Amino acid sequence: MGSLPPPSGIQTIDISPLINSKDPVARKAKIDELVAAIHIQGACGLVGHGIKIDRLREAFKWAQKFFDLPYEEKAKANHPNGIVPHRGYSGIGREKCLIYTEEELKSMSGELAANARKALDFKEHYDTGSDGELVHYNLWIDEHALPGFRTWAQGFYWEMEKLSRTVLQAMIDGLGVDEEAKKDFMSIHTGHQNGLRLMHYPSAHESTIDRSSLTWCPTHTDFTTYTLLMQDENQGLEIEDRLNPGTFLPATTEVEDRMYLTIGDFGEIWSNGYLPASKHRVIIPRAADGSEVTPKRYSMPYFITPAEDGICGPQYTGKLASGPRGKYKTSTIKEHVEFRMKFQY
């Protein structure tokens, strides 16, 4: 009997045994299912994660309140020029969310040359993190502009950190690497370097959109270990189908509390490619009712990122032992982030 082909599409995994169960058999089965899905596509959907629907709805209400503020209020927390701190408000067109090769970056200097530009993103967003992070410290709007926002943001941030740590531990356990490698990798994930991003993709009239040069967010990978993405009911996120490179699968929205997990650069590097970084994009969809105005969209990615002084390099034990040697560089987290962000702000 021949082997079965790998499952197609982006699988959705119910991780409730990892949240609620102490049964080692049930937990191991779920860990194996999770790692197998991510190994194929670099991504999966997550349900049963313990974040209640009402809590997610509240989060999106806060996001809408923030983006409804006058520009002058949001701009009081503007993201600075450069990459430190990677926090604060970025208006439409402020961030260049692109993928460049090392060769492309080496050929550039100063501003991007015209022939180096790629499709630009059409969004505004606000980056926040732990108030205990000293390098990428938070930039807050005035409390009187949106009372309670800072308190909510910090509470939700640490709620997501608890979930993200459970998932990270499960993925590492599922790879079967040696205990020292597990301990080292977990130790550089302190929680303080993670990021919660509130995102607003504005609506636009069809007559103003050239989809060859404008998108909500171009194709990219995240410079994270992995990302957990929450989104509202409006479609837009697409994840590259690794079984059919160059084609993209919609990250559908019919399950309200489903999050999408996408592996980032550090997850791919550390796992020696076993957990591949997910290429994804956010397209500007046409209105479902046929109108000439596209729907606006809100989403919230939670970025799981190691400490800047941490070392990330490929591992060669457990399931990673059969992977290639020499494909991935060992570097500090800071070096890779600076390489990726060279032309982002």
User: What was the pLDDT predicted at 214?
Assistant: 65
User: What was the pLDDT predicted at 95?
Assistant: 66
Confidence of residue 112 (pLDDT cuts 50, 70, 90): very low
User: What was the pLDDT predicted at 56?
Assistant: 98
pLDDT at 108 over 50: no
pLDDT digits (tens, 9 = 90+) for 256-314: 999 999 999 999 999 999 999 999 998 888 888 888 888 899 999 999 999 999 999 99
Instruction: Write b or e for each residue in 60-82: b if 16 or more Cβ atoms lie within 10 A of its Cβ, otherwise e.
Output: bebbeebbebeeebbeebebeee
Segment 131-158 mean pLDDT: 97
pLDDT at 186 over 50: yes
pLDDT > 70 fraction of the chain, expressed in percent and rounded:
87
Ranges assigned E (strand) in the chain: 12-14, 43-47, 88-90, 120-121, 124-128, 195-201, 214-215, 217-220, 226-231, 237-240, 248-250, 259-263, 280-282, 297-304, 311-312, 331-332
pLDDT at 105 over 60: no
pLDDT digits (tens, 9 = 90+) for 250-264: 999 999 999 999 999
State how far the Cα of 93 lies from the Cα of 97, in Å rounded to an integer.
9
Helices (H), the chain: 16-20, 24-41, 53-67, 71-74, 102-107, 149-175, 179-187, 265-270, 333-340
CB atoms under 10 Å from CB of 26, counted, come to 14
pLDDT at 2 over 80: no
How far is the first Cα of the chain from the last one, in angstroms, to the nearest whole number? 54
**228, 226, 227, 223: which is closest to 334 by C-alpha?**
223
- Residue 239: burial class (beta carbons within 10 Å; 0-12, 13-18, 19+): buried
User: What was the pLDDT predicted at 181?
Assistant: 96
pLDDT digits (tens, 9 = 90+) for 69-104: 999 999 999 999 888 899 999 998 766 655 445 554
Segment 200-212 mean pLDDT: 81
Segment 167-188 mean pLDDT: 97
214 or 161: which leads in pLDDT: 161
pLDDT at 249 over 80: yes
Domains of the chain: 26-340 (2.60.120.330)
CB 262 within 8 A of CB 239: yes
Distances (CA, A) of 220 to 12, 121, 340: 22, 11, 11
CB 340 within 8 A of CB 223: yes
User: What was the pLDDT predicted at 207?
Assistant: 80
pLDDT digits (tens, 9 = 90+) for 312-344: 999 999 999 989 999 999 999 999 888 877 756
CB 217 within 8 A of CB 119: no
Segment 216-225 mean pLDDT: 87
Query: Which residue type, as a one-letter code, is found at position 204?
Result: A
CB 199 within 8 A of CB 299: yes
Segment 92-121 mean pLDDT: 50
Query: Which residue type, as a one-letter code, is found at position 162?
Result: K
Stated pTM of the model: 0.90
Query: Which residue type, as a one-letter code, is found at position 284?
Result: I
pLDDT at 200 over 60: yes
Mean pLDDT of the chain: 89
State how far the Cα of 162 lies from the Cα of 175, in Å rounded to an integer.
21
φ and ψ at residue 105, rounded to 5 degrees: -65, -40
Segment 21-38 mean pLDDT: 97
Bridge partners (DSSP) listed for residue 128:
196
User: What was the pLDDT predicted at 218?
Assistant: 80
